[in-house]
Structure 1
């Protein structure tokens, strides 16, 4: 989880472009509840690819990753492998 969180935290806040598995994506990373909840949504530009996840940082130090209706492995690979470009 540590490598995933480091990669997630390195993603820019707000809208950005990324490339993943040879396809361009437009993504938005947002923070809610004073940073205790974060969301990432990415749409494949000109395609059907879609990534959506929520991260909850609990007061006891635990972190919960909640993919939105897709396998956890898919969202983990996107965060770890996507190459971020200019907005």
Structure 2
């Protein structure tokens, strides 16, 4: 995966827990990053529903990004990261 827009959007999400809106619905989101930035994870749960978004992103020694969605499509993960709007 080589997408600067996705990387930028993920990088703007604060580490730890936060809430915000995606597709008009509220989500609680937890972002975790390793100290070296090579391992990232996101887990999001719709607060008033059943939807979840979950993935791990690994950066290789050659700085290649490997997106590993958890039981969902990569397209769903990318759309969520690009369109999620955290609370101010």
TM-score normalized by structure 2? 0.92
Gapped runs of 5+ residues in structure 1?
Answer: none
| Aligned pair partner of 1:28 in 27, 30, 41 | 30
Number of aligned residues: 86
C-alpha distance in 1, partners of 2:73/2:64? Answer: 20
Gapped runs of 5+ residues in structure 2?
Answer: none
TM-score normalized by structure 1? 0.93
Q: Give the aligned partner of residue 55 of structure 2.
A: 53
Provide the alpha-carbon RMSD of the alignment: 1.1
**What do residues 33-86 of structure 1 show as CA deviations (whole Å, max 9, x unaligned)?**
632111000000020010001110111110111111001000100000011115
Runs of 4+ in structure 1 over 3 Å off: none
